[in-house]
């Protein structure tokens, strides 16, 4: 059973950077599409970006293009979310999720497509 644990959240000033980690256990994460999602208070969970399985590409929402990047470290069974030029509207609980079924195609960051979820980590962008 795949388990995911996020870390790296915190409080950062506008324009700052954070790197979130999504560490996996119980299975090899490289065989899964991995997405990052966020949920602000009173809002629905939204997809931020994802990385496809087996060396496939990434897919970014327009709101984070040019600011956020996603990467894998297969040796550590971990996916990272590098967030630069953070804005107050980036505030929320960030979740990573993994899906074994998005094979041989570009991933989609749609919450209902993902089977395994971490517990989330809080990111607050404020001065």
pLDDT tens sequence across 21-35 = 999 999 999 999 999
List pLDDT tens digits, range 53-109.
Answer: 888 888 888 999 999 999 999 999 999 999 999 999 999 999 999 999 988 889 999
Alpha carbon distance 12, 86 (integer Å): 8
d(CA 27, CA 25): 6
Burial of 95 from C-beta contacts in 10 A (0-12 / 13-18 / 19+): buried
């Amino acid at each position: 059973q795949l388990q995911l644990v996020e870390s790296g959240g915190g409080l950062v000033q506008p324009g700052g950077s954070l790197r979130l980690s999504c560490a996996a256990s119980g299975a090899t994460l490289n065989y899964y599409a991995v997405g990052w999602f966020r949920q602000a208070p009173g809002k629905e969970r939204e997809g931020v970006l994802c990385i496809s399985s087996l060396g496939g590409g990434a897919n970014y929402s327009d709101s984070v293009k040019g600011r956020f990047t996603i990467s894998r470290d297969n040796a550590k069974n971990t996916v990272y979310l590098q967030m630069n030029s953070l804005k107050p509207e980036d505030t929320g609980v960030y979740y990573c999720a993994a899906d074994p079924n998005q094979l041989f195609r570009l991933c989609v960051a749609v919450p209902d497509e993902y089977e395994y979820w971490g517990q989330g980590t809080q990111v607050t962008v404020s001065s």
